[in-house]
Amino acid sequence: MTDFLVIAGCFLLLTPLLAIHRVTDFMIFCIFVMSFDLMYGYMGRLSFGHMLFLGTGAYGSGLFIKYVTGNPFLAIFMGIFAAGLLGMLLGTVAVRATGACFSLINLAFNQIGFFLVLSPLRGITRGEDGFGVRVSSFGFLNFANPTFKFCFVLLCLLLVFYILKRLTTSPYGILIRSIKEDETRVRFLGYNTFFYKWLTFVIAGCVGGLAGTLTALNYNFVNPNSMDVHSNVGVVFASLIGGAGNLYGALVGGVAYMLISNFLPIYIHRWEMFLGFSLLIIVFKFRRGIWGNIQDIWEYIQKRKGGRRPVEEEVAKK
């Protein structure tokens, strides 16, 4: 419970500093980073096409609202369902690959999806022009109200954090981390590693689809930018800067990246160069990211408080 209060409190503290709709955007991106980190940080599969699921969620919910009904909750369900179904289909192919092949297969799928909404399905998606999204309101459940939208997205973020935390600390979470370390040994122990990789791929797709539906509702607009392959750089960078393989790191990295990408261009014209240098520093000096290094410092302080230095403690153990 303390974790949820701290997370909620941190985002609430951002509202006096930033516009409430911008903080809502930060939280949606953090949900997306957590979905990516489940696949990369925990299972060890780097995808360059994760934006496909965000775009599928956005288009799935947006088209449902445009052509079926303006009920926002049914639209959210349809967006998640569409992303999950796509994950089920593509996962049967993608998870058979490893390393660069896995990354590039997902990139190819993402590029195909981007092309489909941009050109062949232009009559439905309106191509690069996109289309507006208007949802119905039910009393105080009004997505046109920025405060309600903020509270709803915050609730979704806490729910996603809770579910993923339970999953990653369960035997299932131990298993997917074991697959990351040595899949051959896990398979030798009798586990069907293909199924667990496929299941993780689907779960990550569903959470990414949720981020897409919330993006559509937050902007009241859907266009191909929600599926742009170049935007995959942002979620990869956020996962690395926060610390891959840790949900807290995903939140820290998501907020840090959004702050950099939203405010740094105001002062630095070539702000992407700053991101490049930052990534090099992280890779060579701070491989565990912001949150991982905070944990290291905290553990060091705790050891010093115990009366022994870390080296002396190791000698004492021997």
Gap between the Cα atoms of 80 and 54, Å rounded: 9
Take residue 161 and report the two structure tokens written for it: 């954090």
Domain count, the chain: 2
The answer to whether the Cα torsion of 250, 110, 152, 163 is positive or negative is: negative
Do 46 and 172 fall within a single domain? yes
pLDDT in tens, 41-64: 999 999 999 999 999 999 999 999
Domain that holds residue 306: 288-318
pLDDT in tens, 222-280: 999 999 998 998 999 999 888 888 999 999 999 989 988 888 887 777 777 777 777 77
Gap between the Cα atoms of 137 and 234, Å rounded: 33
Gap between the Cα atoms of 260 and 157, Å rounded: 21
- Name residues whose C-beta falls within 8 Å of residue 16's C-beta, 6 or more positions apart in sequence: none
Residue 281 lies in a domain: no
Do 47 and 184 fall within a single domain? yes
pLDDT band (50, 70, 90) for residue 307: low
CATH number of 236's domain? 1.10.3470
Do 146 and 248 fall within a single domain? yes
204, β-bridge pairs: none
Do 309 and 270 fall within a single domain? no
Take residue 260 and report the two structure tokens written for it: 């950099």
When the pLDDT of each residue in the chain is averaged and rounded to a whole number, the result is: 89
Take residue 259 and report the two structure tokens written for it: 């702050």
